[in-house]
Every structure is written in structure tokens, then in C-alpha cells.
């Protein structure tokens, strides 16, 4: 059971899922930064939304932290770099509110085009002002989408239904994909010059902060209307207000602000500006999705499993083809760590068969994590394994080939002078893990928590000698495979044992002149 600290309001459905998994859910909302430093002590997981600031001091105070979960998309309130250094996984729920955010964007585009909030307010104050709040149609206008990710693409689809012409700026989207979506891709300057409406769908980073400022706003088409449902600070609010006052920008609609919460901005006094208090994800559906999604991610992280939405795990997308092999890859990494007797070395992972070219980066990361754990780095995780490897001058890489002579798929892990291979085998309706080669000796044995690898002269009596030594120590052999090497005149025994083999038994075996090498393997 882990303690999950929740500092902001999360959908009850998500919290109940964590309770059902056996975790303690500790809800403490409205904490000051000082109170958070106290509350984080002893917590294994922290779940937040956008208000809680998870800075370096907070992460350092949370010495038991495994994961920080953000119930939403943006992570500008989390020090992700520091979390990575500390081996703390950071996860979010990137698809939970995309529909809500896209619909909010369209609502603000329409509100800006037709002056709906202003006319509403005037009428409720006893003023019938039809001519004053004359608007414009969306049909035939050009919408410039800055950031064509999931939300930007949904906005583009919806704007198309209004008869708008779509142009977009996104350096990470290919021209072909944009054309397939019916969107003309162009530079940011060209978009600013052509768009009648501009909508922003970018994360807040060093590069995007202050993206729309006095200089870039001056490049906009006169009379442009600007909408931001992404992150505050991407638009310089003072510069935007000045551009509206000058008449160059017709108006704006903002859901987010440089500082939140806020009740002050130079934009609030301008009649052509529509503002709402960060409501992009504020729908019943989005909150339920975010709560459930973040609970699932946190639960996976606490279990030590791979988390699909971990933002600081360098693994990329994980396909359904690759996912079943993750456990095998980590087992092979741990196994070879045992062969190295606690001394890690450079790692190479070889993929043969159908796995080749299917996005195996996560499998290499699993193998690296396993190697590091088995060689004394118990804190190694999906998050910090690459940095730990770099700190210890360990390189790692992978090779893929479609050729696999004996099995459909084989993963081979090489490190130092050792190598171990494994595969997944279908036996009836079951899929089982098998180690199929150790140091170029063919064997076939299921991995077990405690194993022993013995390399010996290939002569009669060696198996009996090993079995007798283990039996006298009260250790049962639960499985065994032998791989002879006729050319070298040696053999390799790989044994699964009921309990770990004690040091004194290992030394007794090692004293036999027929035994050339012995390694204790711990896979859990």
C-alpha cells in the first residue's frame, strides 16, 4: 500500500480507483508552499492539477516519491528536470480534456466574433444595443492555428464546418499531414499576416513564452482577433492590450493568463476582449476522464510498470507488438547483471525477428534498468536509468535484424564478455518467457527469482556434484537446462533454485577444479 497525497480537487471516480487498488488516498487541498513541504514527507505519489507548484524543494522533501501525477495536460507548475534527476516519474493525462478544450476554443471564437458576452451584459443591464455589438461571420475567414497537435487538430476540424479557411504553423507536423487535414502549413510570420482569427495550442516553454509580443503582433493582419485556450504567458498581455487600443488588433478572447488566479489585467478594461477564468477543461466529462486517467497512470507507476503518459521517460510510443516483451527485456538485463557479478559494463541489445523496427526503444530502456538494478543501483527506474548510465560511463544501444533462425522473435543482451538471449513462447493458450541462450550456450529454461549459472568442463559427474552441494544446503532445484559446447569441451548449467544460493555454497563449488565459473542470478 502506498500513500497518495492529493492537493487539488480530483474526480472521485479516480480517487476511488486508487483506494480499490489498496492505496491510502490523503486529500489535503489548499496547502501553502510551506504546508506542502510537510505533507509531502512520506508520500509515494502526489496528484495535482494546475495550482500546486511542485518545485525542486518540494521534490527533495518528498524522499519517498515515486510519481507526480498532473490531472490535465500542462506541466509548467512541475520542475520536470529536477524530478528526472531524482528518479521521480512525472505523468499527465494528455487526452482527458482535448475535446473540452477544443469546444471551449470554438466557443470563444464565436463569442469574440459575435460579441456575445458584451451584448448579454448590456441587455441584462437594461440596454438594447443591436448596432453597437455588430459582429462578423466565420464563413470565409482565415483561421490561423498555432500548434497543430491533438487540440489544434480538433479545432481545425470544427472550424472547417463553419466554412473557414485553415492555415497552421507547427514545425513538428509534416506538410503532407497538414495537406491531408485540409490545412495549409506555413511559417509563423506568414500565418500572422494572413489570419483573420488566430488560435493558440502550444505548451508553455522557453521558446513559446512571449511568442506573441509587440513585435510579432505588429506583423498580424489589421483587424485580427486572437484566442488563447492554451497557456498564459504565451501572449504578452500588456503588448496585446496596447495593440488592441491602437486598433491594430480587433479583439481577443482569453481562457488563460500570465498569472493565475488573477482578477487584474490590462485586458479586462477593454470592451472587445472576452475573458473567462481558465475553463478549458472545466466540464464534467473532462474532469472524470482526467481523474480516471491520472489514477491509472499513478497506479502503474507505483507498481513499477511502464506508464504510457510518463513525460520524463525517454521511450517514445509503445506499440502492442512491443509491450509484451518489456518484462522479458528487463529480466535479460537483470540476468546479465548477475553474470557481471555486480560490475556494470556497456550494454547492447539485439532484436531479431518481427520485433525489428517496431519501436524497441522502451525494451532497451527496460534492459538497461534491469542491468543497473542487478549491479547495485536499486534506485534505477524508467526515469533515471539513462542518466545513471551516463554518470557511470555506461553506453547503451540497440541493433535490429529481421533474421531469426530458430524463433519468431529473440532479444539478446550483451554486456562485458557475457550475453543472454530470451524469447516469448506460445504453449497452448499461454505465452511463457524463456531464456534460450547464455554466453552462446543453447539452453531453454523459464526465468525464476533465484537462479545459478555454472560453467564447467564437460565431463561425467559435474551435474551430480552441483546437485549434491545444493541438496546438502537444503536448496531444491526447480528447473535445469544444460548447454554443451563440443568444440570447447565445456558445458553450461542454468538452474532455478528454491532459494538464493549462499556464498559458502558458491565458494565450495568454485573450489572444484572442474568448475570454470559460477554466478548467482537474482531476478526479483
Distance CA 457, CA 516 (A): 7
Residues 6+ apart with CB under 8 A from 473: 501, 502, 505
Task: Assign 3-class secondary structure to 253-266.
Answer: EECCCCCCCCCCCC
Active site residue 260: yes
Distance CA 428, CA 415 (A): 34
Edge-to-edge order in the sheet of strand 273-275: 184-185, 165-169, 142-146, 197-200, 224-228, 249-254, 273-275
Cis ω before 261 (30° cut-off from 0): yes
Per annotation, catalytic residue among 60, 260, 348, 444? 260
Per annotation, catalytic residue among 44, 201, 225, 278? 278
Across the strands, what pairs with 409?
353
Active site residue 465: no
Distance CA 298, CA 318 (A): 18
Per annotation, catalytic residue among 70, 165, 225, 231? 231
Residues 6+ apart with CB under 8 A from 383: 83, 84, 87, 88, 89, 310, 312, 313
Active site residue 392: no
Find, among 2, 3, 14, the residue nearest to 287 by Cα: 14
Cell numbers for 142, please give them. 482565415
Distance CA 512, CA 461 (A): 12
* Residues designated as active site: 231, 260, 278
Amino acid at each position: 500500500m502506498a500513500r497518495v497525497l492529493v492537493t487539488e480537487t480530483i474526480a472521485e471516480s479516480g480517487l476511488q480507483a486508487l483506494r480499490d487498488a489498496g492505496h491510502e488516498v490523503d486529500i489535503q487541498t489548499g496547502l501553502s508552499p510551506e504546508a506542502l513541504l510537510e505533507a509531502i514527507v512520506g508520500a509515494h505519489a502526489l496528484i495535482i492539477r494546475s495550482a500546486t507548484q511542485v518545485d525542486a524543494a518540494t521534490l527533495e522533501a518528498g524522499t519517498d516519491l515515486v510519481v507526480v501525477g498532473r490531472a490535465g495536460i500542462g506541466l509548467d507548475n512541475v520542475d520536470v528536470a529536477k524530478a528526472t534527476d531524482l528518479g521521480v516519474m512525472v505523468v499527465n493525462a494528455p487526452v482527458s480534456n482535448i475535446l473540452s478544450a477544443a469546444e471551449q476554443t470554438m466557443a470563444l471564437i464565436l463569442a469574440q466574433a459575435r460579441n456575445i458576452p458584451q451584448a448579454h451584459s448590456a441587455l441584462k443591464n437594461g440596454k438594447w444595443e443591436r448596432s453597437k455589438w455588430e459582429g462578423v461571420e466565420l464563413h470565409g475567414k482565415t483561421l490561423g492555428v498555432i500548434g497543430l497537435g491533438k487540440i489544434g487538430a480538433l479545432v481545425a476540424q470544427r472550424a472547417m464546418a463553419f466554412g473557414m479557411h485553415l492555415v497552421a504553423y507547427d514545425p513538428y507536423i509534416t506538410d503532407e499531414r497538414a495537406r491531408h487535414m485540409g490545412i495549409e502549413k506555413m511559417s509563423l510570420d506568414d500565418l500572422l499576416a494572413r489570419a483573420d482569427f488566430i488560435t493558440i495550442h502550444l505548451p508553455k516553454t522557453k521558446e513559446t513564452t512571449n511568442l506573441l509580443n509587440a513585435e510579432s503582433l505588429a506583423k498580424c493582419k489589421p483587424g485580427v482577433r486572437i484566442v488563447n485556450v492554451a497557456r498564459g504567458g504565451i501572449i504578452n498581455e500588456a503588448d496585446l492590450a496596447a495593440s488592441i487600443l491602437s486598433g491594430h488588433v480587433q479583439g481577443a478572447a482569453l481562457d488563460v493568463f500570465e498569472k493565475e488566479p488573477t482578477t487584474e489585467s490590462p485586458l479586462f478594461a477593454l470592451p472587445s476582449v472576452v475573458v473567462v477564468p481558465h475553463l478549458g477543461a472545466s466540464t464534467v466529462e473532462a474532469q472524470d476522464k482526467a481523474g480516471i486517467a491520472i489514477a491509472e497512470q499513478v497506479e502503474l507507476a507505483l507498481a513499477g510498470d511502464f506508464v504510457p503518459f510518463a513525460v520524463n521517460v525517454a521511450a517514445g510510443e509503445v506499440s502492442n507488438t512491443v509491450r509484451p516483451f518489456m518484462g522479458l527485456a528487463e529480466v535479460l538485463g537483470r540476468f546479465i547483471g548477475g553474470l557481471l557479478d555486480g560490475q556494470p559494463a556497456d550494454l547492447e541489445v539485439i532484436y531479431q525477428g518481427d520485433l525489428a523496427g517496431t519501436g524497441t526503444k522502451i525494451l532497451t530502456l527496460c534492459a538497461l534498468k534491469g542491468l543497473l538494478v542487478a549491479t547495485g543501483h536499486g534506485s534505477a527506474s524508467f526515469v533515471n536509468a539513462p542518466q545513471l548510465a551516463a554518470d557511470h560511463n555506461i553506453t547503451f544501444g540497440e541493433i535490429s535484424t529481421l533474421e531469426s533462425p530458430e524463433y519468431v522473435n529473440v532479444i539478446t543482451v550483451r554486456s562485458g564478455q557475457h550475453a543472454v538471449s530470451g524469447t516469448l513462447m506460445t504453449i497452448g493458450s499461454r505465452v511463457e518467457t524463456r531464456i534460450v541462450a547464455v554466453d552462446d550456450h543453447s539452453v531453454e529454461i523459464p526465468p525464476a527469482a533465484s537462479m545459478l549459472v555454472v560453467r564447467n568442463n564437460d565431463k561425467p559427474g559435474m551435474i551430480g556434484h552441483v546437485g549434491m552441494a545444493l541438496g546438502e544446503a537444503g536448496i531444491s532445484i526447480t528447473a535445469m537446462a544444460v548447454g554443451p559446447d563440443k568444440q570447447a569441451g565445456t558445458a553450461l548449467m542454468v538452474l532455478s533454485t528454491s532459494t538464493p544460493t549462499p556464498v559458502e555454497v558458491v565458494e565450495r563449488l568454485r573450489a572444484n577444479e572442474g568448475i570454470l565459473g559460477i554466478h548467482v542470478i537474482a531476478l526479483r
